[in-house]
Amino acid sequence: MRRYAPGPTGLSYSFGPGPITPAVKWLIIANVAMFVATLVYRDIITFLGLIPQLVFEGLWVWQPATYLFLHGGAFHILFNMLGIWMFGVELERRWGTTFFLKYYAVTGIGAGLTVLFVSLLPLAATAGTYQAVTIGASGALYGLLMAFAIYFPDRPILMFLLFPIPAKYFVMIIGAIAFLSAPGSGVSQAAHLGGLLFGYLYLRGGRGGLSAEIKYRYLKWKMNRLRRKFDVYSGGRSDWDRHVH
């Protein structure tokens, strides 16, 4: 992603969103620390990675949350952390650290729950998911991408690091790719789709979304009703013989 800012000769270009924000910084530190730990003790992946069979058997129910901090290789963690920095920083600045972390957790855990759901489907293409291990922060990253597309729909993102397209179309394309490549893919596309879905539902049904709109309309209706009941009008009245107590 490139940011555009006016300069003395027109437009200047810079890569990335600028200085790192607190939550993004600590998420990256936590992920890198866990990656180093898995290099020393590989069994951590079995213990903290998401394995649906172990979760449903009630053995390690924390896995839908802990799998987010594990990665299988250098490029895996590099691209995920780069994405969290590029898209997370601007969202954290807009939302604040508390809401950003809440959203990150909702989309990341939601992606894990999607993997659990898919593992129970009676389909040949999803049968292997039940015993497979899912790791990586890409579910939460896809949630950040969804939020970025909602708040900055026309902001250009480099598709395949080659050509810029608006964020709203970028998310549509990666969502379609995840859906179409899900059967037989070695990547957990269910987690990617889950991150997109939970991100959309949370923003449309949570802060600034559908429920906020409903509350706003209800409060507006209630205030108008009270104004009519008590004969209160903004801007004053021409009938000075009537008073409101």
Give pLDDT, residue 199.
Answer: 96
Residue type, 92: E
Q: How many Cβ atoms from other residues are within 10 Å of residue 29's Cβ?
A: 11
Domain boundaries, the chain: 2-7+16-205
Give pLDDT, residue 217.
Answer: 55
Give pLDDT, residue 226.
Answer: 67
Average pLDDT over residues 186-197: 86
Who contacts 40 (Cβ-Cβ below 8 Å, separation ≥6)? none
Point out the catalytic residue in the list 71, 119, 188, 192.
192
Point out the catalytic residue in the list 14, 138, 211, 245.
138
The enclosing H or E element of 51 equals none
- For residue 131, the 8-state DSSP code is T
CATH no., domain 2-7+16-205: 1.20.1540.10
Convert the pLDDT of each residue in 40-54 to its tens digit. Answer: 998 999 999 999 999
Q: For tokens 């069994």, name the residue.
A: 43
Q: Among this protein's residues, is 238 annotated catalytic?
A: no
pLDDT-based confidence at residue 125 (cuts at 50, 70, 90): confident
8 Å CB contact between 110 and 198 = yes
Q: Among this protein's residues, is 138 annotated catalytic?
A: yes
- Percent of the chain residues past pLDDT 70, beyond the cut: 75
Closest CA to 111 of 75, 151, 145: 145
Q: How far apart are CA 98 and CA 91, in angstroms?
A: 11
| Beta bridge pairs of residue 134 | 50
Q: How far apart are CA 200 and CA 82, in angstroms?
A: 22
| Axis-axis angle for helices 210-230, 189-205 (nearest 10) | 10
Instruction: Give how far Cα 62 sits from Cα of 38, 111, 114, Å.
Output: 18, 14, 15
pLDDT-based confidence at residue 222 (cuts at 50, 70, 90): low
